[in-house]
Amino acid sequence: MEFTFFKYQGTGNDFVIIDNREALFPKKNTELVAKICDRRFGVGADGLLLLENHASADFKMVYYNSDGNLSSMCGNGGRCISHFAKFLGIISEKTTFEAVDGMHEATVKNDWVSLKMNDVENVAVFENHIFLNTGSPHHVEMVAILQDFDVFTNGRTIRNKTYGKEGANVNFVEQNDTAIFSVRTYERGVEDETLSCGTGVTAVAVAMFETGRTSENKVILKTPGGQLQVRFEKVGSGYKNVYLEGPATQVFKGVWQ
């Protein structure tokens, strides 16, 4: 089948996005999704996003990991699809859309997208790591000399041995300044390190505040693919008004045949 697609990236976290408002894409064809995302035999992407009609919101976001399976919330994907909605003329600057974890709000100004994430109710602090859900499950762990750290091997081990078949994303963190942290993430579903992970840096920002490594509620996160920022409000034992902010860029348009 032939359809038009758009390639997007948000700090190196890259996606194929398809306008599926006419419901023509074969959503149950996981092999096709995996083939499109394949970097040697397809377009190449960390995931595939479908923009669909919604009864009350501006649109619905459907997200597949690069393995072809439907997945949990993708923060950078949410930012990229908001930019895409503006490109299509569905929205002007502000949007409300539904993702797998509920409703989200976003603001798009040029290539800068601010995405409101879900509230974070529970942050579990352990001796050597922190675990929390920011739309996707995340393990956060501090390491020394992050640039030399074996993210793939250690991330894969933790993802499988600690969290089993369901798995979790694994973030390794090094502190640079009072409110600046470097982050590298092993993502389940991609089963590899990605250049950036939106829900991951959101989890890291909250985890760093929760454990007292920063007292700032606006945190800069440096990933291999670029810089993101996360701001939030601590309310009781949880976090509200959590925003993931950074660039989103349309790279190219193509036709799948």
Tens-place pLDDT, residues 78-118: 999 999 999 999 999 999 999 999 999 999 999 999 999 99
Tens of pLDDT along 208-222?
Answer: 999 999 999 999 999
The predicted structure's pLDDT at residue 1 = 83
Does position 182 have pLDDT exceeding 90, yes or no?
Answer: yes
pLDDT over 70 percentage in the chain: 100
Backbone φ and ψ of 165, nearest 5°: -60, -40
DSSP-assigned letter for residue 147 = G
- Count of domains observed in the chain: 2
Q: Flag whether pLDDT at 15 surpasses 90.
A: yes
Instruction: Evaluate if residue 40 carries a pLDDT over 90.
Output: yes
Predicted confidence band of residue 6 (pLDDT cuts 50, 70, 90): very high
Q: In angstroms, rounded to a whole number, what is the distance separating the alpha carbons of residues 229 and 214?
A: 14
Active-site hit among 80, 106, 197, 242: 197
Strand (E) or helix (H) holding 194? strand 192-194
Q: Is the pTM above the cut of 0.75? A: yes
- Do 6 and 17 meet the contact criterion of CB atoms below 8 Å apart? yes
Q: Is 197 a catalytic residue?
A: yes
Q: Which of 74, 91, 190, 228 is catalytic?
A: 74
Average pLDDT rounded to a whole number, residues 157-170: 96
Q: And the tokens for 255? A: 């036709």
Residue with tokens 């879900």: 118
Nearest to 195 by CA among 206, 209, 203, 183: 183
Any catalytic annotation for residue 37? no
Tell me, yes or no, whether 185 and 225 share the same domain: yes
The span from the CA of 183 to the CA of 224, in Å, is 8
For residue 210, what is the domain's CATH number? 3.10.310.10
**Residue 249 pLDDT greater than 90, yes or no:** yes
DSSP structural state of residue 70: B
Query: Both 89 and 138 in a single domain?
Result: no
Four-residue CA torsion sign, 4, 7, 8, 13: positive
Residues 109 and 11 in one domain: yes
27: domain range?
A: 3-116+248-256
The answer to whether residues 59 and 38 belong to one domain is yes
